[in-house]
Amino acid sequence: MRLAGDTAITGYANPMPVDARSTDISGSYLYVADAARGVEIFTLKGLPSAEREFDLSQPGAPFRIETSEDFIYVASGAKGVRVLWICPCGPLSQKTLFEDNIYARDIAVKDSLIFAADLKAGIRVFNIWDSTHKHTKLTPLALYEGVVSPQDIMLSGDVLWVADSVGALIALDVSDPLSPRQLSFTLLQTRPYGLTMVDETVYVACGEDGVLPVDVKVPDNPKIGNYIHTPGRALSVAVSADYLGVADYTSVMLIPLDSLEIKGW
């Protein structure tokens, strides 16, 4: 789906992914983390039909995928973090990986840094280059254990927002990647599944409770609003210039941002 102003162009992936966990768009391509097939690459040139060009079989079950310049970053569960090179001469190839006693649930990328949500250990920080900045290599820099079971992470400047399945929204100062520092720990009284951010508001997908807006103008003092109720289970959220998108288990909702009247602050 591509959002542009007040219009939505709806398309479909052909063939349909088996178990899509996340997607990313780079240029004219759609990348899908499919837990059953690996990384799937679709071309968007023929919308409304996005045709699959090829699958890249990967060990493990991909949960999250993110693209940046010439690389694809994949959180692959028990198979760790994998970095793939988008080769202009042909199919993708694996450049580097880290799979030493890690369960990677999500990733966030900033310049040469990778932040990984390790479901069993906390937040891991990696450098993607060697000391000469010429070769791709995942070097562990830090492990922050103050997060119990991270489900979803999101970077905003030097703040890493974490949805912890214990029922909390956590803000970490990662301006010093060697030593992440907790700014706030906000109990939500429910399990969070996904995050997105609009201006100074974090929207948290909270399953059957709906979507919870949180004012994060002051990251060390978040203020919780009232739930935006959805028909099913809000499992993932995303945003465009005009809409809040919600993956609601059995449907996808597009909520105009200018229609949201947030109360409770």
pLDDT tens-digit profile of 97-134? 999 999 999 999 998 899 999 999 999 999 987 656 56
DSSP secondary structure string, the chain?
A: -EEETTEEE--EEESPPSSEEEEEEETTEEEEEETTTEEEEEE-TTTTEEEEEEEE--SS---EEEEETTEEEEE-BTT-EEEEE--TTSS-EEEEEE-SS--EEEEEEETTEEEEEETTTEEEEEEEE-TTSSSEEEEEEEEE-S-SSEEEEEEETTEEEEEETTTEEEEEE-SSTTS-EEEEEEE-SS---EEEEETTEEEEE-BTT-EEEEE-SSTTS-EE---B--SS-B-EEEE-SSEEEEE-SS-EEEEEGGG------
Domains of the chain with bracketed CATH: 2-145 (2.130.10.10)
pLDDT tens-digit profile of 247-259? 888 777 888 888 8
What pTM value is reported for the model?
A: 0.87
The confidence score (pLDDT) of residue 2 equals 35
- pLDDT band at residue 185 using 50, 70 and 90 as cut-offs: very high
